[in-house]
Amino acid sequence: MVLNKAQIAANKLLNSLGWSKPGDLSLNEIAFASNAYVKESNLEGSDGRILMNGNNAIITIDSKVGFESRKKFILAHEIGHLTLHKGLSKLFSDTDKTLNEWYANGKHEIEANQFASELLMPSDLYKLRVKGNGMSLDLVRDTAEYFGTSQTATLLKYKDLGDFSISIIYMENGIVKWKTESAGFPLKFLSYGSKAPVGSVAGDFFNGQGLEEKPVLVEALDWFPEDFGIEEHLETELYEHNFRIGTDGLLCCLWMQ
């Protein structure tokens, strides 16, 4: 995997500080070394905010953010803005929307998310954790625990570095908001704004049924009926597993095994 500009910048920062594994430095210490003062405060309409003045910055994290992994990603995202975007704007204010919709935002937000992912889970170290271990949600959970990251961020990293090609679909209230997949995943067409399909685990959940705790085999045809390549996969079954995101969101992972 060839690293992009944001990932290279994250590794350069870690290397300059002598970081080699999780726990070597806290994110607050990394922020301090980047000339940023970090505080928590009650923010309205924003999860994180960075105010930059030259090479210095004040990063504010919304005190209402409850999960430590979430706070870490927000802070890493703002450090990304400081590292990559100083001089472009004095203020970046990031909402739950800009932080969650990885593939539905502008260049600077995507770059800050890429930076944050790499800062928290450097690719070389991530590959050592997942290579040769197949695909399972236990692997995602164990890897997330090792890096202190959310299952969402860890799963999105697996998309590019794991052994199996996967498709990741984010839905709110049963409606597809965004999707992304590994380069080798054969079925790619799914309309934004479409409903979670009948026959899928996600569809059952949004129709009031409970969420399955383990992966379930479903028909590829249920998820990708309009894909140009579906004729070759009419008998194909996919593993489907879903994560709750907030109160209305569901992150669906599909893979062949």
Q: Report pLDDT digits (tens) over 227-252.
A: 999 999 999 999 999 988 877 889 99
- State whether 11 and 110 are in the same domain: yes
Per the domain annotation, does 155 fall within a domain?
no
- For residues 192-211, average pLDDT: 91
- Pick from 202, 124, 193, 190: which is nearest to 157 by CA? 124
Phi, psi of 164 (to 5 degrees): -110, 145
pLDDT at residue number 96: 53
**pLDDT for the residue numbered 241:** 92
Cβ(240)–Cβ(218) under 8 Å? yes
pTM: 0.85
CATH, residue 39:
1.10.10
DSSP letter (8 states) at residue 195: B
Residue 198 in domain: yes
Confidence of residue 214 (pLDDT cuts 50, 70, 90): confident
- Helix (H) or strand (E) segment spanning residue 169: strand 166-172
Tell me: pLDDT of 28 over 90: yes
- Beta-sheet pairing, 175-181 with 216-219: unpaired
Does some domain include residue 141?
no
> With bands split at pLDDT 50, 70 and 90, how would you rate the model's confidence at 101?
low
Specify the pLDDT at position 50. 84
Identify the pLDDT of residue 48: 84
- Given pLDDT bands bounded at 50, 70 and 90, which one contains residue 108? confident
Q: Is the pLDDT of residue 95 over 60?
A: no
Domain count for the chain, please give it.
2
Average pLDDT score, the chain: 88
Q: What is the mean pLDDT of residues 60-77?
A: 89
Boundary (domain end) residue, out of 91, 121, 151: 121
> Both 94 and 24 in a single domain?
yes
The reply to whether 153 falls in a domain is no
Helical spans, DSSP H, in 136-212: 137-147, 151-161, 201-206
| pLDDT-above-90 percentage for the chain | 61
Taking CA atoms, 228 is separated from 101, 158, 184, 224, in Å, by 26, 25, 15, 9
Contact 221, 137 (CB under 8 A): no
pLDDT at residue 47 is higher than 70: yes
On the question of pLDDT at 17 being above 80, the answer is: yes
Sheet of 166-172: strands edge to edge? 175-181, 166-172, 249-255, 237-245, 216-219
pLDDT of residue 206: 92
* Distance of alpha carbon 69 from alpha carbon 74, whole angstroms: 9
DSSP string for 32-70: HHTTEEEEEE--SS-SEEEEEETTEEEEEEETT---HHH
Strand partners, 243: 251
Say which residue the tokens 């999860």 belong to.
47
Average pLDDT of the segment spanning 149-171 = 92
Which domain, by its residues, includes 187?
164-257
Signed CA dihedral, 145, 151, 155, 157: sign only: negative
Does residue 140 sit within a domain? no
Q: Which of 36-40, 46-50, 121-125 has the lowest mean pLDDT?
A: 46-50
